Structure 1
Amino acid sequence: MKNKFLKGAHLSERKFKEILKLFSEDLTATQIANISGVSRVTINSYLKKIRLQIVKYCESLQPESTPNAATWLQRSHSHTDAHETAIAVKADVDRIIKPVIFGIYKQDNKVFTEILPDVSRSMIQAIARGRSVLETVGSTERIRRFQGVVDLGQYRLYHLGNGHHDADAGKALLDDVDGFWGLTKHRLAKFKGLNRNTAYLHLKECEFRYNYRNDDLYNVLMNLLKTFPLNLS
């Protein structure tokens, strides 16, 4: 069936556009399945492919990462156990195996995020106490890139104060960090027991949604998938 957005699709282009529209409105997979009449299994498969394309797009825009910082796509292929490592959010904090920690920074009027696998909860807490521990482990320069760091397991944002010296610019930057975390916290609260790769997919989706919050997200997605169609294979 011909579908310029989805190679090898068994759905019509019209039905896929309907699914994409519902996704852009931030409905859950269950809601999309019920409205579209497409099975939940198929919807989950398509939504994952859409999110993977969003990840690739967001990472293509991201300023150069710190040395030795691999993209999520590279890490996911080199660490096969990443798919199996569960994380928890605040409601399930006692079941956390290892917290997921990510940094937030703003550049060129866009907010970017980066998973920090080598930053521990104790290190973040040290930031709030004055960062003395960070200097002993040589992570200070890397952490200085971020205006905020989030411990996803505790659902807690730590402001780092790494911004403009200008008060107005600093406030705008802080507003964006808080605004992004507010959106992310609200969206991720709908999911529990996410594995690490799924958490990252949703994190980058939040980044994408926040950066295009003033645009018609459906049209943005349409243009993205016209340029980079999904592939079922």
Structure 2
Amino acid sequence: MKNKYLKGAHLSERKFKEILRLFAEDLTATQIANISGVSRVTVNSYLKKIRQQIARYCESLSPSDNHNRSVAPVRSISHTSSSADEGDISVKTEVSRTVKPVVFGIYRSSDRLHTEILPDVSRSMIHSVVRSSRSILEMQGAAERIRRFSNVVDLGQYRLYNLENEGTVSVADDVDAFWGLTKHRLAKFKGLNRSTVYLHLKECEFRYNNRNEDIYETLLELLKTQPLSLS
């Protein structure tokens, strides 16, 4: 079936654009399935492809040489799971102290915010930076890696840390607005699986950086030049 936005599509271009518009409006997979009449399994498959393309787009704009280009699944941060709108989203209640939290850094370049998941950064490292305690970080070799971010977030506690040093251009308002958007979006999933948190984080980054644009039209333009593939 001909669809310039989706290679190997089994849906018409009109129906796919309907799903894309509902996604742009930030509806859940269940809501999109109910409105569009397309099965939730199919909708979930398409939404994952869309998010992967968004992540690639965000990566292409990142000035960092070390940004995470991997979306490899790892063990869940949750001990309690349940069915949710996305097939790979799980419910999170309290995170065990023995489970390493998902940590990501935030920095600004030009007029855009960028995020990077930091798999080798622990909660104790963040606390050491906040306290300006160098000894632990120097042993771990992580001081410079963390300090190049203006902020880091511990998703296990949904907590934002400010790491800006005196003299650094403030990005506080920008970061606070982004974190507010991200918390609101992630909260509706009642917790995230480690294997999907990267895609959802990059989606939040994309939505925030394009907040003054028509998200639907921006996505159409992106997928017109870089079509999705079901293979």
TM-score normalised per structure 1: 0.88
- For the Cα contact (< 8 Å) 1:104–1:148, is it kept in 2? yes
How far 1:138 sits from its partner (Å)?
A: 2.2
In the alignment, does 2:73 pair up with 1:83?
A: yes
- For the Cα contact (< 8 Å) 2:115–2:202, is it kept in 1? yes
Detail structure 1 runs of 4+ shifted over 6 Å in the superposition.
Answer: none
Q: Which secondary structure state, in structure 2, belongs to the residue aligned with residue 27 of structure 1?
A: coil
In the alignment, does 2:141 pair up with 1:143?
A: no
Structure 2 unpaired stretches of 5+: 79-90
Q: Which secondary structure state, in structure 2, belongs to the residue aligned with residue 43 of structure 1?
A: helix
After superposition, the Cα gap between the structure-2 partners of 1:216 and 1:162, relative to the gap in structure 1 and judged at 3 Å, is: farther
Work out the CA distance in 2 between the residues paired with 1:122 and 1:51. 31
- For the Cα contact (< 8 Å) 1:29–1:43, is it kept in 2? yes
Other-structure match for 1:72: 69
Alignment of 1:7-86 (within 5 A): 7-65=7-65, 69=66, 71-73=68-70, 76=71, 82-86=72-76
- For the Cα contact (< 8 Å) 1:2–1:9, is it kept in 2? yes
How far 1:228 sits from its partner (Å)?
A: 0.3
Q: Which moved more, 1:86-95 or 1:136-145?
A: 86-95
Q: Which secondary structure state, in structure 2, belongs to the residue aligned with residue 91 of structure 1?
A: coil
How far 1:131 sits from its partner (Å)?
A: 3.2
- For the Cα contact (< 8 Å) 1:113–1:207, is it kept in 2? yes
Alignment of 1:116-127 (within 5 A): 116-127=118-129
Alignment of 1:1-233 (within 5 A): 1-65=1-65, 69=66, 71-73=68-70, 76=71, 82-88=72-78, 91-94=93-96, 97-132=99-134, 133-162=136-165, 165=168, 169-170=169-170, 173-233=171-231
- For the Cα contact (< 8 Å) 1:102–1:114, is it kept in 2? yes
After superposition, the Cα gap between the structure-2 partners of 1:27 and 1:163, relative to the gap in structure 1 and judged at 3 Å, is: farther
* Superposition CA RMSD, Å: 1.9
Structure 1 letter corresponding to 2:57: Y
Structure 1 unpaired stretches of 5+: 77-81
Paired-residue identity, %: 68
Work out the CA distance in 2 between the residues paired with 1:163 and 1:227. 43
How far 1:70 sits from its partner (Å)?
A: 5.9
CA displacement 1:164-217 (0-9 Å, x = unmatched): 54xxx52xx111111111111111112245322201000000000000001000
After superposition, the Cα gap between the structure-2 partners of 1:96 and 1:199, relative to the gap in structure 1 and judged at 3 Å, is: farther
- For the Cα contact (< 8 Å) 1:86–1:193, is it kept in 2? no
After superposition, the Cα gap between the structure-2 partners of 1:109 and 1:164, relative to the gap in structure 1 and judged at 3 Å, is: farther
